Amino acid sequence: MRVGLLWRAEWDPFEPGESSVQHSKLHGVFAAFAALGVHAEPVVYSDETIDEARAQLLELDGVLVWVNPIEQGRDRSKLDPLLREAATSGVWVSAHPDVILKLATKEVLVESRHMGWGTDTRLYRTVDDLRLALAARLVEGRPLVLKQHRGMGGDGVWKIELDDRSSSIDGRTHVWVQHAAAASPPERVLLTEFLRRCEPYFDGAGTMVEQPFQPRLPEGMIRAYLTHDKVVGFTHQYPRGLMPLVADHRPTGKAFEPASDPRYSELRSRLEADWIPELQEILGIGTHSLPVIWDTDFLYGPKSADGADAYVLCEINASSTFAFPAFAMPVVAQAALARIEERTADV
């Protein structure tokens, strides 16, 4: 069996050789396959060497992919057709680009807004749609978060609220905006200027999604890691984006916790028993078509009357879920081999 681990050269430069595999970012995944008796091979992708990648991919039985939607100014516009070609030729691909488009763009927040993890979420397909709707949304008085269709690291994620000195919405209206990328500070700008900044997010098939800002953001974000429809780990981290400009003494590291951690038992139960099956039904994705490694990000929503926590989905990641828990890597490798064997048997 030939299994490839594909990543973009800009993400992790690589020189051929066994020592390079051991020092690559995915060294733990390579080791997990080796423990199962399978030698996984690196597929280091770049747009400039796409022909070499195609030749290697079409010889594989399966490939696991770690490529961000945007990486140092590059996108997946050339890679995704190649992965579709490989899948059509019989290569098992996780995550398949078509599954990513259903599962891991911001539109999934709209598709699933009526679920237990959902909130008042709106979709804007053009900047004119945003311009027409945003004024009325802002006068309701609560801060909003706007997110571009695809991105990473907080790029294209904005908190926006009406400036207290603006008594009406017109060409002179000011708003406070804060970009999540690089923990940028709040900025007072004309609403018309902010809308101009948003125009590039609508290029091509781009959209923006709006959600209410969650005031419990300082309490952190819970990321649940999944293999297909089962939770394989958690982490509780503290994003710096959209935070007030005050001394931030919250933890900066990322500690991985097992799926069995009792602190997350309620969230795990909701995910596995209710939310993931419901999402599969909404999106039309079979269990084994779900990626072998993906994650869901949750912020804390308003507490219930009896003090129970609510969880609000803020993002799903499936293009390049890394880092993820080392203790989950054997499960990921086992699931991948099982899917490849199933596909081979079907052929």
Residues 227 and 309 in one domain: yes
* Predicted pLDDT of residue 15: 79
Q: How far is CA 202 from the centre of its chain?
A: 19
Q: Which pLDDT tens digit goes with each residue over 282-320?
A: 999 999 999 999 999 999 999 999 999 999 999 999 999
Tokens for 60, please give them. 């594989």
Residues 164 and 293 in one domain: no
Domain of 80: which CATH number? 3.40.50
Q: Confidence class of residue 140 from pLDDT cuts 50, 70 and 90?
A: confident
- Helix, strand, coil proportions of the chain in percent (round to 5)? 35, 25, 40
Mean pLDDT of the chain: 94
Residues 181 and 223 in one domain: no
Residues 156 and 190 in one domain: yes
Residues 145 and 110 in one domain: no
Residues 153 and 109 in one domain: no
Q: Which pLDDT tens digit goes with each residue over 97-113?
A: 999 999 999 999 999 99
Average the pLDDT over 130-150 and give the result: 92
Residues 48 and 144 in one domain: no
Residues 24 and 47 in one domain: yes
Residues 110 and 240 in one domain: yes
Q: Which pLDDT tens digit goes with each residue over 61-75?
A: 999 999 999 888 899
Degrees, nearest 5: CA angle 138-143-147: 95
Q: How many Cβ atoms from other residues are within 10 Å of residue 97's Cβ?
A: 18
Overall number of domains in the chain:
3
Rounded to two decimals, the pTM is 0.94
Among residues 161, 186, 212, the one where a domain terminates is: 212
Among residues 212, 236, 251, the one where a domain terminates is: 212
The radius of gyration of the chain from alpha carbons, rounded to an integer in Å, stands at: 21
- The domain of 257 spans 103-118+216-323
Residues 319 and 336 in one domain: no
The residues that bridge with 317 in the sheet, in sequence order, are 295
Residues 236 and 185 in one domain: no
Could you tell me which residues come within 8 angstroms of residue 237 by beta carbon, excluding any fewer than 6 positions away?
220, 221, 223, 251, 254
Degrees, nearest 5: CA angle 130-136-142: 100
Among residues 212, 242, 263, the one where a domain terminates is: 212
Q: For residue 182, report the phi and psi dihedrals to the nearest 5 degrees.
A: 60, 25
Minimal CA–CA distance to 61: which of 95, 92, 94, 101? 92
Tokens for 90, please give them. 């019989």
Q: Confidence class of residue 166 from pLDDT cuts 50, 70 and 90?
A: low
Domain of 227: which CATH number? 3.30.470
> 288-307: b or e for each residue (b if 16 or more CB lie within 10 Å)?
ebbbbbbbbbbbbbeeeeee
3-state secondary structure of 175: strand
Residues 22 and 63 in one domain: yes
Minimal CA–CA distance to 91: which of 206, 173, 1? 1
Q: Which pLDDT tens digit goes with each residue over 212-244?
A: 999 999 999 999 999 999 999 999 999 999 998
Q: State yes or no: pLDDT of 18 exceeds 90.
A: no
Tokens for 232, please give them. 């394989």
